[in-house]
Amino acid sequence: METISRKAKAGLAMCAGSAFLAGLFAIGLPLSKTATANIEEDSSVSRFTVEVYLDGRTYRQVNVDPKEPPNTFEKGDLSHIEGVLYPKGTLQPGKSDPAPDARTIGTFRYRGVNTVRLQDYLDALGGDSNAPRVQAFMTETYGFPDDDSEIITEGAWPNANRAVHRAVIGGTGRFAGVVGEAYEENIGENTRDHNCNLRVTFKLRRVGWGRH
């Protein structure tokens, strides 16, 4: 299969540490303030922001139509990609890459199905206000820092220059029992292979386990 970096040459860009983890939870979710510059906490809810840098070398696509031309995507195509998580402020709107010494805080994966075609993405990228807000329906995982602890989200995935609210459906490890919402912004593209950069703000609370 082709990687997304080859697709990017034709205009396609699918735009999806222990120190961090050590402070991640104390109430239900005590977060290290070194992870992001945007944390607000009360007795039941924690908010924090991460940024996602997608790695086009990991991109894979399964076409719903076997006769579909290369270097494109259509409604119903399945896709998967991986990426790296950074603290808020690492990536800038528009074309942006992390600094060489930028600190990574985790890993990212998505898999799902496209709900638009390539032209809808290109229209959004070009600033067309009528372009669809949603590009795909995706499952995402955010791993901190070695995938032993993950946040799992479901729902709409934002088209270029768009933002969506996604459901946090649970987690593992230190995030076991969490629910909430993720506000996901498609803030631009990297310059390496033209994949999307994302900024994701979580609003989480821990559900009581109860007794059986």
pLDDT above 60 (res 149): yes
pLDDT band at 145 (very low <50, low <70, confident <90, very high): confident
Distance CA 87, CA 31 (A): 12
* Per-residue model confidence (pLDDT) at position 209: 58
The letter for the amino acid at 99 is A
Per-residue confidence (pLDDT) for residue 9, from 0 to 100: 34
CB neighbourhood size of 162 (10 A): 17
Tell me the percentage of the chain whose pLDDT exceeds 70.
Answer: 77
Residue 187 banded pLDDT, cuts 50, 70, 90: very high
Read off the amino acid at residue 157: W
Pairing of strands 40-41, 178-189: unpaired
pLDDT 10s digits, 51-63? 999 999 999 999 9
pLDDT (0 to 100) of residue 180:
97
Residue pLDDT, tens place only, 21-46: 333 433 344 343 334 434 444 558 89
Mean pLDDT to the nearest integer, 137-149: 90
Q: Which domains does the chain have, with CATH numbers?
A: 4-206 (2.40.480.10)
Q: Note whether 94 and 123 are within 8 A (CB).
A: no
Q: Is a pLDDT exceeding 60 seen at residue 2?
A: no
Check: pTM over 0.85? Answer yes or no: no
- At residue 5 the predicted structure's pLDDT band, cuts being 50, 70 and 90, is very low
| pLDDT the model gives residue 71 | 87
- Percent helix, strand, coil in the chain (nearest 5)? 10, 45, 45
Q: Tell me, what's the pLDDT at 43?
A: 59
Alpha-carbon span 193 to 53, nearest angstrom: 11
Q: Regarding beta strands 78-87 and 94-95, do their DSSP bridges make them parallel or antiparallel, or are they unpaired?
A: unpaired
3-class DSSP state of 119: helix
pLDDT in tens, 88-121: 999 999 999 999 999 999 999 999 999 999 999 9
Q: Alpha-carbon distance 142 to 98, whole Å?
A: 18
Confidence at residue 148, expressed as pLDDT on a 0 to 100 scale: 83
Rounded to 5 degrees, φ, ψ at 122 are -65, -35
- Rg over alpha carbons for the chain, rounded to the nearest Å, is 17
What confidence score (pLDDT) does residue 210 get?
A: 52
User: For residues 145 and 181, what is the distance between their CA atoms, to the nearest angstrom?
Assistant: 21
pLDDT at 12 > cutoff 50: no
Distance CA 188, CA 208 (A): 38
Decide: 3 and 184 in contact? Cβ < 8 Å.
no
- pLDDT of the residue at 44: 81
Task: Give me the count of residues in the chain.
Answer: 212
Distance CA 74, CA 67 (A): 11
Give the model's pLDDT for residue 42: 56
